[in-house]
Structure 1
Amino acid sequence: METNNSFNEQFEFSGKLKTYSLVAIVVGIVAIALGFFLNTEREFANLLLCGYYFTCVCIAGVFFCALQYAAQAGWSASILRVPQAFAKVLPYAAAILILVVALGIFTPQQVITEEGHQTIKGTMLYKEWAPKEITTKGSEAYNAVIAGKSGYLNIPFFFVRMAFYLIAYSILGLMLVKYSNNEDELGGMFNYKKSFNISAAFLAIFGFTVPLFAFDTIMSLDAHWFSTMFGWYNFAALWVSGLSVITLLLISLRKQGYFTWVTVDHLHNLGQLMFGFSIFWTYLWFAQFLLIYYANIPEEAAYFYKRWEPEFQPWFWLNIVVNFLAPFLVLMARDSKRAVPVLKTACIILICGHWLDYYIMIMPATVGPKGRGFGVQEIGTFLGFAGLFTFLFFTALSKFKSLVPKNHPFLQESLHHHI
């Protein structure tokens, strides 16, 4: 049975949406400039937080596409343009993240002493391992533990790894977009089979490297501490965040009159994934926390000790409430996943909640207790990145000749999806 939908309509990025995204970018630029004036170290931490979040959401889009192709899923065929637009934005997000990390490592931190003199003290980011003096024997700052990890934690190898992860994800994501566009033009199964093979390659690379990406970018901020669960904990946050953004954008686009073929059944599936992986995130959060709390080994407990200081403890517990209890109560019932306003609210809660999750990971390790709270730097930087993502995403979406992969072999199954 065919449908009467027109698949040749293009998205037009104009009007208030474009204006608001540009205004948000300008607000972000002003806030970042002000942040460097107020507290440079804290602003670098905010840039790392938002840059990492921005990149993770885009990676989640590539992962979504690859997962659907590799599983030969039919229900999602008609919504693939949204995560494919994430793939087109990923190279920009990756470049911004690498730039932020590089500036944070190579910008020295200047401290004013009681005598009024300025002295250089380490770097703005990754200060536990990046300064050369830490691994130089005879230096006052020498640390034997970090020196023992220097074969892995050294600046050249660090950037080689980060470049490999992000370039590989970006290239494979863009290849999925390319073959999907070719499929629209040529039809047949050739490009679908190519997409299947690329997806399998991406999933193999992603599966091995996404924990390392989290270890390098975030866990190495606390270079004395380590957790084998941290990589998968970050993967769960990445995936839930990406699903929430995909769902929120689909709801927004439907409201604007696009993606009219998307039904509550499609949104129900996305709600199920958000709910299920929020529970998975909670399992990893609880398992990591409980094992370290129970064992009480000093080198492990130090991570949570920082986050139990009075300045961060309220946010630490709020994190589990927002990212577990809220979606658990809101999305458990079938009807709630099919009620668009409720699902939209859950998306916004999870997007904000996982920003808080990354905040708890990054701030205590970078600026310490003085980084507590949310001010102009946090709100302004987040708005700037949100505006940039919005502008790049809708620009990328507007470049597709069709809002649906019209020659996808499972398109009719997706159009008639019902659960």
Structure 2
Amino acid sequence: MKTHNNFEERFEFAGTAKTLSLVAIVIGVVAIALGFVFGGEHVQRTYSNLLLMSYYFVCVCIAGVFFCAYQYVAQAAWSASFIRIPQAFAKVLPYASIILLLVVTAGLLQTHEVLEENGKKEMVPYLYAHWAAHGITTPGSENYDATIAGKSAFLNIPFFYSFLVIVLGAYSYFGRALANASENEDEIGGMSNYNKSFKLSAIFLTIFGFTFPIFAFGTIMSLEAHWFSTMFGWYNLAAMHVSGLAIIALTLILLMKKGYFSWVTENHLHDLGKLIFGFSIFWTYVWFSQFFLTWYANMPEESVYFYKRWEPEYKWLFWFNIVINFVAPLLLLMSRDAKRLINRMMWVCIILIAGHWLDYYLMIMPGTVESHRGFAVEEIGIFLGFAGLFTFLMLTQLSKVSSLVPKKHPFLDESLHHHI
């Protein structure tokens, strides 16, 4: 067992990682610009992809806060030696939240003309057209929709904006507070900061449990506002957690390959692998329950959501989604030894990161992009841009901490000697 570690080790963000992240950001900016320059349906695709990636970005950062919080509340020791990584995710959350709010704002303010089924032309916003179009909740208006009017207490722009700002602000506050308490702990020692982190985590988890499903309802499910599912929030929670765990594990593995986190062993990877495996099964359970109950009931107002996703362009992706996000981790991570193989874990994480991008793609695209479906420069370029932006911001935050290990964490010694 390794017994000699450098607890003053700092991460230096430079070289290839920094260059590649900046190149990816430039590619993303170019892809966004091309989407708007090409005009027409490309603008809609660009907005849909911006929403997809800004939502994914926010969810991964929220996953960092969530991971830290339930580790503190469970008084878990095993994760203490690499807790700086999810803390770096949490510190990026304010930036991710601002980007999501800017995308939502632009998508609501910019409108375009669409041709309705009855042949009438209508001006609607690029995002949330199902409930934010002019006159849709006004009785007597030619655009009046009684179903949407019945949901207008929730689906209205003031409430929608207020809720997003408050909930993302609260998540960002707790994420920053947990990271600051941990760093302050290294300065003064003692139990005061750990006890503070425990209390903050308990409060955060209570708020998070009630608000995250509503966040998913408003940001994603309301894109197709006539449809609803009470499972949708938990489905998004599972996707958020699995993708966040995969990126935490991938970040840790890549840094270990560069010589950092020398104190992390296959035992820590094993526990991360168990979480990834277990919550992939949970994601599948919620995915199947939401789909099966809708299919079994065969009610038109509910099955229309899946009908769209069974159109030729999406049907193979619909089934591939379950293969890549369930079958892959099931077969590749089921055995004990598989979770302890660093390269196996790395590739499973990459598969799941791509898989949950596809999961979000299927949540957003069928309800927003009516033509020119498939993959084009917008999907690839914007994905690379946000991946580069997340990498740049997260590694920048990681480079700012005085040590990659929380030297005075009360459970650090137990984490360093973690063995299962």
TM interval, short-chain normalised: over 0.9
Structural RMSD (CA): 1.5
Q: For 1:36 and 1:355, locate their aligned partners in 2 and report how far apart those are by CA, in whole Å.
A: 22
Between 282-291 and 134-143, the greater mean CA deviation after superposition: 134-143
Match of 1:94 in 2: 97
Aligned with residue 266 of structure 1, among 265, 268, 271: 268
Q: For 1:111 and 1:146, locate their aligned partners in 2 and report how far apart those are by CA, in whole Å.
A: 19
- Confirm or deny: 8 A CA contact 2:134 2:143 kept in the other structure: no
Q: CA deviation at 1:371?
A: 4.8
Aligned with residue 297 of structure 2, among 295, 304, 316: 295
Q: CA deviation at 1:3?
A: 3.6
- Give the % identical residues: 65
- Confirm or deny: 8 A CA contact 2:167 2:211 kept in the other structure: yes
Letter matched to residue 48 of structure 1: L
- Structure 1: 4+ residue segments shifted above 3 A: 110-113
TM-score where L is the length of structure 1: 0.97
Deviations 1:257-276 (A, max 9, x none): 11110101101100110000
Q: For 2:2 and 2:12, locate their aligned partners in 1 and report how far apart those are by CA, in whole Å.
A: 26
Match of 1:116 in 2: none
**Can you give the 5+ residue segments of structure 1 that lack an aligned partner in the other structure?**
114-118
Q: CA deviation at 1:365?
A: 0.8
Letter matched to residue 382 of structure 1: F
Q: For 1:140 and 1:40, locate their aligned partners in 2 and report how far apart those are by CA, in whole Å.
A: 26
Q: Residues 112 and 292 of structure 1: is their aligned pair in 2 closer, same or farther, counting only changes over 3 Å?
A: closer
Match of 2:9 in 1: 9
- Confirm or deny: 8 A CA contact 2:2 2:263 kept in the other structure: no
Q: Does 2:323 correspond to 1:329?
A: no
5 Å-filtered alignment, 1:37-48, equals: 37-38=37-38, 39-48=42-51
Q: CA deviation at 1:112?
A: 8.8
Q: Residues 177 and 371 of structure 1: is their aligned pair in 2 closer, same or farther, counting only changes over 3 Å?
A: farther
Q: Does 2:242 correspond to 1:237?
A: no
Match of 1:27 in 2: 27
Q: For 1:293 and 1:393, locate their aligned partners in 2 and report how far apart those are by CA, in whole Å.
A: 41
5 Å-filtered alignment, 1:16-415, equals: 16-38=16-38, 39-111=42-114, 121-368=123-370, 370-415=371-416
- Confirm or deny: 8 A CA contact 1:10 1:398 kept in the other structure: yes
- Confirm or deny: 8 A CA contact 2:255 2:261 kept in the other structure: yes
Letter matched to residue 133 of structure 2: P
Deviations 1:282-324 (A, max 9, x none): 0000011000000011111111011111111111111011100
Q: Residues 385 and 121 of structure 1: is their aligned pair in 2 closer, same or farther, counting only changes over 3 Å?
A: same
Q: CA deviation at 1:54?
A: 0.5
Deviations 1:353-408 (A, max 9, x none): 0000000000011113x252111100000000000000001100000001011100
Q: Residues 19 and 366 of structure 1: is their aligned pair in 2 closer, same or farther, counting only changes over 3 Å?
A: same
Between 309-318 and 46-55, the greater mean CA deviation after superposition: 309-318
Letter matched to residue 228 of structure 2: F
**Corresponding residue SS for 2:144:** coil
Deviations 1:103-122 (A, max 9, x none): 10111113599xxxxx7521
Deviations 1:86-133 (A, max 9, x none): 0110000000001101110111113599xxxxx752110000001131
Q: For 1:111 and 1:235, locate their aligned partners in 2 and report how far apart those are by CA, in whole Å.
A: 33
Q: For 2:400 and 2:311, locate their aligned partners in 1 and report how far apart those are by CA, in whole Å.
A: 48
- Confirm or deny: 8 A CA contact 1:108 1:120 kept in the other structure: no
Q: For 1:133 and 1:70, locate their aligned partners in 2 and report how far apart those are by CA, in whole Å.
A: 47
**Corresponding residue SS for 1:109:** strand
- Confirm or deny: 8 A CA contact 1:2 1:412 kept in the other structure: no
